[in-house]
Amino acid sequence: MSLSPSAAVSAWLLVLLCAVSGAYCLRRSGRSGGGPAAAGDAVMGFGMAVMAVPLGAGGGWQTPLLGAVFCAAALHAAWLLRGGLHHAHHLIGSLTMVYMALAAGSGAGHGQGHGHGQGAGPPLLTGLLLLYYAGYVVLGGARLATLGGAGAAAPVAGAAAPVARAAARAAGSTAHAAPAAGPAEVLRACRLTMAMGMLAMLLMM
């Protein structure tokens, strides 16, 4: 079953967004402070990009590949839960990817690899996952907007920094300008983008 032009454009945009998010998280995982969480985000982003590619009926090679990768990712996330419940989102995301890969591979009402077409799989589980990701998107978006409001003062602080340094030197101190906002907001935005992508793919099931 072929995609309509509008659906194909939406699918490829989703592929692009997930791939870019995965690439940013992969870059973060190689830096200090990135760690396993950023690596897990990278795997999730690239896996979602692969699943979103409209390749044709039945899922093809996507089902066994994504199923194996995200079963391993789920085990890794479960292991990381020893360090805190903040890794639970990675576990839920990995299990969701396994669920969608199995649903796509079943071919029941699916026209594409990531589940375009009629519904398949237990509707209760799909509904629960939709509620989870909808809540994550709403709460994550609100938190990001709050942080963005606080970060809006950063350009003003940066512009005032030379004056502050001049005043500090005149006073004989060694004060430095306040550091600019770090990449934490961008990382949160990437995770929010992937959550919206997951929500979109669940709605397409």
Name the DSSP letter for residue 171. Answer: T
Whole-number Å distance between alpha carbons of 100 and 112:
12
Whether the per-residue pLDDT at 128 is higher than 50: the answer is yes
Q: At what angle do helices 184-204 and 88-106 cross, to 10 degrees?
A: 30
What pLDDT does 132 receive? 96
Average pLDDT over residues 144-157: 56
Please report, for residues 25, 87, 113, 148, 189, the alpha-carbon distance to residue 183 in angstroms, rounded to integers and kept in the order given: 11, 20, 33, 12, 10
pLDDT above 70 covers what percent of the chain?
66
Whole-number Å distance between alpha carbons of 118 and 123:
12
Whole-number Å distance between alpha carbons of 21 and 44:
9
What pLDDT does 103 receive? 83
